[in-house]
Structure 1
Amino acid sequence: MYLFTGSVIARLSGAIFYGNALFSQILTWNFITSWQDLSYHWARSERAFPLLQDDTIRKKMIITTSVVSACAFLEHVLSMMAATGFDCPPEEYFERYILSSHGFLLNSYEYRLYLGVPIFLLSKFATIMWNFQDLIIILVSMGLTSKYRRLNWRTYCIIKTVKHNKYNQSIKKQVQTWRRLRQAYVQQAALVRRVGDKLSALILLSNLNNLYFICLQLFLGINNEQGPPINRIYYMLSLSWLISRACGVVLAAADIQIHSQSVLPLLQTTCHGCNVEVDRLKTQLKFDWVALQGMGLFSLDRTLLLKVAAAIIKYELILIMFDN
C-alpha cells in the first residue's frame, strides 16, 4: 500500500478510513446511549415468556471477541511490517512508518515528531473502531439469534406435547399456550426491529466500508504482483481477514432471519387445523420478514453475500479489461 502513498487512491482511502472512524465513533456512541432502553425491552420480552437459558452464549461471545481481536492485531502488525520492511534501522522506524502509511498527509521534508505521534495514535484508534463496529453487529446478532433458538426449541417441545397429549391439556389451555407463544414471536420480532433501528446506520457504514477496502486490496494486489515476501504475505492475510470479517457480519446477522422462520416447516407439516392460534402463528412466521437492515437499503441475509460477490467480480473484470 505504501507504493501508492502519494496517489489519489491513497488520499481517497485515507479520507474514507478516517471518515469511517469518525462516523463509527458517533454511531457507536448513539447505540451505547440507547442500550439502556433496548436492554429494558429485551429483559421485558424475556420475562413475558420465560425460556431456558442459553448457557453457551457467553462463551461464544468471549471466543468471538478473542478471535476478532487476535486477527485484527495480527493483521495490523503485518501492515506495519510491510510498511517499513526489515531493513529499517530502529531509530528510523517510527519516521519511516508514518511517511509510508500516511504519505498522503506528510512529505518527508514536512515530518516532525510532534506531528508523527498524533497521527500514529489516531491511526490506531481508527483501526480499533473499524474492527469494533463489525464486532458490535456480530455480538448483537448472536444475542438476538440465541433468543430465536430458544423460542424455536420451546415450539418443538409444545408440538411434541400436543401431538402426544402428554399432559391431557384441554383445548382451552392449548389455545392459551399457543397464544402466548405467538405473542412471544411478535415481541421478539419487535425487539429485532427496535435494535435494528439503532444499528441500521452502523450496519450501512460497516458494509460500505468493508466493500470498499476489499475492492481496494484486490486493486493493489493486481498492481503489485512483484514485491518483498512480507508484502505478499500481508496482502493475502489482510484480504483474507477483510473478507472473513465482512462475511462474519453478514452471516451472524443473517442467522436472525433464518431462525425467525426455521420452525415454520414443522408447524405446516405437523399442525393442521390444531386451533386458530396455530394458524395465526403460521401466517405470522410466513409473511413477517424479520432481519437487520442497513437504513432500509438492504437486509442482512445470506443472499447479500452473493450480490456483493457478484459486484466484486464485475469490479475485477473491469480492472482486467482496462489493465495495461
Structure 2
Amino acid sequence: MGLKKALPNKEYTSEVKWLQRATRKDFLFDGSFQEAIGPLLAMAQCFGIMPVIGIKSKTACKLQFKWNSYRTIYSFVVFILLLIIMGMTVWITASHEIKFSRMIAVIFYGSAVYGIFCFIQLAPKWPRIMRRWESVEAKMPQYRTQAGKRQLARRIKMISIIILMTSLVEHALNMISIVHYAQTCLDPDKPIKEFFRVQLSQMYTFLPYSPWLSFLGKFLNVIATFAWNYMDLFVMVVSVGLSSRFKQLNEDLERVKGKRMSEDFWALRRTQYRKLSDLCVLVDDAISQITLLSLSNNLFFITLQLLRAIRPMPSIQHAIYFWFSFIFLLSRTLAVSLYSSQIHDESKKPIVILRAVPTNTWNSEVRRFCEHVVNDTIALTGMRFFFLTRKLILSVAATIITYELVLIQFQTEDSTETECRRNW
C-alpha cells in the first residue's frame, strides 16, 4: 500500500504490470505476421534499421512512425556516418586506377548505406502495410490449433537465428584473418592497432589513429555488416509471411477437394485469394528496392568470391574464412530465391483443387477463381525488372558464369603492390 500511495496511479499501474507473473495468455500466439516479425524488427532497430514505434506489439494498431522519435534520429545519425565512410572509400578508390577488386569496399558500404536509406523510406509505410496485412489475416480461414498459430513465429525465429548466428561467425572469422594479416605483413608488436588500420583504412587515410575513432569505425562496420545480411533476411521473412497465408488458404481448399460446395463458398475463397494478391502487390511496391539491392549485391559478391577461389590462399586462417564466407553467401542467396519463389508456387496450387470441382457444381465463381490463378503472376519483384520465381535461380546462375568468364579473361595483377599484400 505504501508503494501505491507514493506513486501516481499511472506509474503504479505500469510498475505492477512489470512485476506481475506471466499469464497463460502471454504464451499464446494469434498467428499474425506482426507478432512473428516483431522481435526481429526490434533487434534491427539496435542497428538503425526500421525506426517504427510499437514494433513488438501483437497488433498493428499500435504501430506508428514519427520523424522526431529517437529511433528515427538514431537511424539518420547512422545513415550520415556511414555515408561519410562511403564517401571516404569512394575518394580513395577514385584516386587510383579503377579495378574490380578495389570496388569491394565501395559496393559493401554503398549497399549498406542505400539499404538503410530504403528501410528509412519503408518505415512510414510500415504501419499502414501491417494494418492491411492484419485485416487480410482476419478474413482468412483460421488455424484450428495453437500449434498452427505458433508455426509462423517459430519458422521466422529459426530462419533469423540461423542467418544472424552464421553471419556473426563469418564476421569473427574475417577479424581473425585480418589480425593474422596484420601480424604477418605489418607490425607484429601492435596487432590491434594494425587491425584497425587495415579494416578502417579509408578512415585513417584522412584522420590520425585514435582508439575512440577505432571504436566508432568498428561500430559502423558492424552496422554495415548487419545491414548487408539483414536485407536478405528481411526478404526471406516477408516471403515466408506471404507464402504461409497462401498455404493456409490452400490447406483449407484441400479439405474440400472433389466435394460439392456452394457458389457462396467459392465466392468467399476467391475474395480471400484476391485480397492476398492485392497484399502481395502492396508489399512488393514497398520493398522492391530492397529486393533488387539484395539480389544484385549477392550477384556481385558471388562473382567476386568465385574469382578469388582460383587464387592460392595465403594462410589457413584466410582459407577457413574464405570458404565459410563463400558457402554462406551461396546458401543465403539460394535461400532468398527459394523462400521468395514459394509465394509464386503457393499462389498456383489452387488450380489443382479447382480442376477437381465436380462438373455439376461448376459455376461462375469457380471459373473466375480459375482465371485469377492462371492469369495472375503473384510474386515479389526487383522493382518490376524480374519476378522472384524458381526460373530466376537458373537465370542468375547463368549470369554468374558469364560474368565470371569475362572477369577471368581480363584479370591482371597490380604491379605496384608488395608481394605480401598481393597474396592477401
Q: TM-score category by the smaller chain?
A: 0.7 to 0.9
Spell out, residue by residue over 1:168-216, the C-alpha distance to the aligned partner (whole angstroms, 9 max, x if none).
x7xxxx0001000001000000001111111101111111111111112
1:29-178 alignment runs, 5 A limit: 29-52=120-143, 53-85=148-180, 88=183, 92-107=190-205, 110-162=208-260, 174-178=262-266
Alignment of 1:239-258 (within 5 A): 239-258=326-345
1:261·1:286 contact (CA, 8 Å) conserved in 2?
yes
- C-alpha deviation, 1:42, in angstroms: 1.2
**1:257-272 to 2 correspondences below 5 Å:** 257-272=344-359
Q: 1:282 to 1:96 in 2, by over 3 A?
A: same
Aligned ranges 1:10-21 → 2 under 5 Å: 11-21=102-112
TM norm structure 1:
0.87
TM-score, scaled relative to structure 2: 0.68
Structure 1 stretch displaced more, 265-274 or 16-25 = 265-274
Q: Distance in 2 between the 1:34 and 1:93 partners?
A: 46
| Unaligned ranges ≥5, structure 2 | 1-92, 413-424
Aligned identity (percent) is 28
Residue of structure 1 in register with 2:397 after alignment: 309
CA 1:49–1:275: 2 relative to 1, 3 Å: same
Contact 1:28 1:133 in 2 (8 A): no
AA aligned to 2:242 is L
1:98 aligned partner, one-letter code: F
| Greater mean alpha carbon deviation, residues 127-136 or residues 263-272 | 263-272
Q: Deviations over 1:233-257 (max 9, x none)?
A: 1111111111111111111111000
- Which structure exhibits the higher relative contact order, with contacts defined as CA atoms closer than 8 Å and separated by 6 or more residues? 1
- How far did residue 92 of structure 1 move? 2.5
Could you tell me which runs of 5 or more consecutive residues in structure 1 were left unpaired when the two chains were aligned.
163-168
1:160/1:38 CA distance change after superposition, 3 Å: same
Aligned equivalents of 2:339, 2:196: Cα separation in 1 = 36
Displacement of 1:279 in angstroms is: 1.1
Deviations 1:9-52 (A, max 9, x none): 45422122111111111211332332211111112112234332
Give yes or no for the alignment of 1:203 onto 2:291. Answer: yes
- Indicate if the aligned counterparts of 1:182 and 1:281 stay in contact, CA closer than 8 A: yes
Aligned residues: 309
Superposition CA RMSD, Å: 2.5
User: Quick one: distance in 1 between partners of 2:304 and 2:208?
Assistant: 27
For 1:296, give the aligned amino acid: R
Task: For 1:17, give the aligned amino acid.
Answer: F
Deviations 1:104-153 (A, max 9, x none): 55459954434433221111110011111111111111111110001001
Determine if contact 2:115/2:290 at 8 Å carries over to the other structure: yes
Amino acid at match of 1:206: S
Task: Look up the equivalent residue of 2:111 and give its one-letter code.
Answer: N
Amino acid at match of 2:247: R
1:165 counterpart residue number: none
